[in-house]
Structure 1
Amino acid sequence: MKSGPYSIIDEAIIEADTIKLSHKDNDFSIEFSSFTFKNQDWITYTYSLNSENWIKLRPGLNTVTFNNLVPGTYEFKVRAKDYGEFYDEQELTIIIYPPWYFTTWARIMYLVLFVIIAIVIIQQILQRRKTKMELQEHLRAEQINEAKLQFLTNISHDLKTPISLIINPLRKLMRKDKEEERQKLYKIMERNSERILHLLNQLINARKFDQGKIELKYQETEIVSFVNSIISLFEDQIESREIQFKLNHPDTNLMAYIDPNHFDKIIQNLISNAIKFTPQKGTVEVNIGRLEKEDKFYISVRDNGIGIKESELGNIFNRFYQVSNNKSRQFEGTGIGLHLTKTIAELHHGTVKAENNEDQKGCKFIVTAPLGKAHLDKQEIILEPTSAVATKTETLPITSAYVTDELKEITPERNKPTILIVDDDSDTRNYIAAELLSHYNIIKKSNGKLAFPEVVKNLPDLIISDVVMPEMDGITLTRKVKKNINTNHIPVILLTGKTDKETNLEGLDMGADAYLNKPFNIDILKKTVKNLIKNRTLLKNTYSGNQLQEDKIKQVDVKSGDDALLNKFMDVVNKNISNPDLSVEMVASELGISRVHLYRKLKQFTNQSAGELITNIRLKQAADLLISKKINIAEIAYAVGFSSTSKFSTKFKDLYGMPPKNYREKQTQN
């Protein structure tokens, strides 16, 4: 009586009007009768399902079968026909229930689930779009911050030059003028100049730290005296603002491994901020101690200034972030100091945090770092201990007078070496010239493009060049000087405000003989100039710097296997001097060695590659022909293997500093 969970019928089938079936019982038959027991074979039955067309059965058949009906409600009707007359219709409702997963409730659940999934997908799409926009905003902010930092870094490099020209004359005044009152003013000027230099270096270092270009070198340092030496830099500010400054330290001797050249920036930034945001006659307190349980030391700087909003405590260490407190607008800064402080603290395996004071106005910054050296790699440690490290950023020695006006051209003296000074800053050019004028002939140029023809023309004994210049920078000038056969013996000193290792290495790779950072030490510069010129003078008796004299082109005195190789190289080049297709591969094949081996040997002998040496030999031969033969320049170019007169003129000008025509005229006049 059951079809699945449903009762098929609750009464006699004759009286029933509804039958209920599960979806599994959708194959069934219905039998019907007219209660006319005579002539059954003559009775014809017709039926209809769901009010569709009537279907006639053959006479005498009183059964209809349905197979595989889909779930739903069916209205079954049947009638009998006897002798052309229809009996009354009989109706039966058949309900086939669907499976549970096709029920109305299931469909409602599916709809609800679909709506939920649609909402989740829409939220995900909106969230991704929001995240993408936030990422774009973040990248845009990073680009803006990077542009700001790049701009500030460039400004810092530019400011280092005038700072050099402030500190050096100031130190001369400090040495000569012994009047006590003025000496006090000089010291204030000196301290503040050094503070400006510290800020400039801080801007430059911020970029280096962000790019991961700085490696710390740790040495054992006595922390109390180290911090005390930094506090001395702020004595004039503390005195002028009548600030009550306290340094508390229960330990008189607290040793820890730090990088003194960078850890001092943490202390300077925190003390500078505390003094800046503390009112007149306020208090600043520095506490130094140990955290015994954590095996760390701490340094806290506390003030009673304007404090920081709680909502902004988590952002103040972000780069370029400025607090929104209106009272702080009078103390605007770059927004780099605290970001740099956090970076350096983390590189020291420590932390830095800020919190507002509970018992008074103002805030407190706390720096922690590990004691001992177990957390450090051996290569990061400098073994020499130091009790207190002087932290006056960069000091400069006393120097000679600074020349404020452009120096007048002075007739060169024969017994004096000649120095070419190349710098786009006229004050720097004049200052260096004034310092060196008593012992050297001076030539000044404002950039490398103007300086190089002067180098080729006059062959100075030494070049002093800035690195960052318009049109042609110092690195490019050095490269051109060192690759030119007639000038590569000239020593080059590079001066720059860029202190990164990559720039220094690039300059030295180009052949620079010395690299001095701005603000440069004028005494070191003088000594470097003197030593380089002296060394070149000692070498002149045995080596003139010109690797391509006529005797070396035509004849080589064979004394060793290397000399024999050079002799064969010269023979091959001289025999094929007019062949425009002469190449390094051809020469190497003639000599029976690889191109790499030939390059290495020639670089060792002449400081030139094989291609450069072949070109210079051709140009040397062309120079001789210009003087000795009265033939046109095009014929000379083709005679020495150049297929283009324009290329020949360009190469000739690079080597001799003037076009072939001018060279012939000058040599003819001489």
Structure 2
Amino acid sequence: MSPLEKRLRDGDVPADVRELLQNNHRHGHHLLKLVNQLLDISKLESNKMLTHESAGDLGLFLADCFAQFQPLAQERKIDFTLTQELAGQFLFDKAHLEKIVFNLLSNALKFTPSQGQVNLSARLVSTSSAASVLQVQVQDTGQGIPEEEQSKLFDRFYQVDSSETRVEGGTGIGLSLVKELTELLQGDLQVESQVGVGSTFTVRLPVTPLTTEEPNDQPIEVLRSTPPAAESRLILVVEDNEELRSFLVESLSEEWTVLAAPNGKRALEVIEQELPDIVISDVMMPEMDGYQLCQHIKQDIRTAHISFIMLTAKAAQDSKEKGLEFGADDYLTKPFNVYELNLRIHNQIQHQENLSAHLKAHLFPVRPQEEPAEVENEFVLQLNEYLADNFDKPDLKVDTVAQEMSMSKSTLNRKLKALLSTSANDFIKNYRLQRALEFLTKGRSVSETAFAVGFESHSYFSQCFKEQYGTTPSEFLKTGV
């Protein structure tokens, strides 16, 4: 923490001094962003900017980029939407794509007036087994760019003269950086704009699709209900008998989204990537049996919440007891009725939902006067411990939290969705609001509290507080309820 941030967290700073310090802090962040962009420009000029592709879910990646701009759009009363048709894993340069999307969204929100619209859309415009082309578009209803200025738009330090519509100042670096990064990634960038209507920036980049199949191994089967329900639960069937595995996948896919794996070893790979809600597993399998698989799942805090239903031909009581000792949640003996299996799945999901509602209600009470209860979930305790040391940082990102929890960003979101029916962004926000209650209860001002818990916008803090507790921070200070 910098000396400036430490001073801002002090409770005895006069209001006029605090406002001055906050302005300095905001300007410092803007200056840091500018310096980083200049460094990128310098690397591009000297041909020292490298590319680094890694595997990831493009849809989740862009959704996270979108989510980070939602507070700004809400503060400025801009209708901000995301439209995408992406699924699966791809190889792409996350760092460079993030800079491209961030600069385009920042530019669109900067020049779009209140009550205007900004849309981020993404889709694949051409595909093959070896390569695909990702198209990302940012559309806005700003004042538009005169045709005679569009040719200069991507020149370094060039700024369109639109002082009447601009919400904040700029440097003329952002769009130039977008163009050069796009070209570095062997893509292309286009702009269409009409004065009085708005602008559309289109980026097309090559990306490489990945497959989960391995040439010398059994493939992971994926069958999704058509069309899948919006809130369809994800079931993983683990069975070495191909006929029974196919039968279960076909039968269960009428109601659920179903994945399948031929043994415990392959199942762990699927679980790490997809994080299903329920695992239905045979006991006797090659490479890794059902007992070992269940033990792996239940001993890992990242997967311990997953319900585990064991299937076995063994009717002996000791076999059932062994499965329960390893953490199985339910047990079904072959031959079994699919209707009964579906009932057991429903029971497990209802149990998960009850636990989720109970945990969320105790962790983040909706009434300010309620104290959050102690939770026993090891994953939540570990997550809270990390947030306790970092919640005051305005630039705290979901991917940083995920890395701390030893999982991907998408896995963290799925884990919190299963545990608490919430996203990682909302969990961080709710944690900050809970800490804000503590500060307000101790008599700290609204603006001081907002900054102390990591909100850079006073108005957005008040909006989030009211959505969570039904009262504004100012009203809470007056009434205490």
TM-score per shorter chain, which class? 0.3 to 0.5
Greater C-alpha radius of gyration: 1
TM-score (norm 2): 0.37
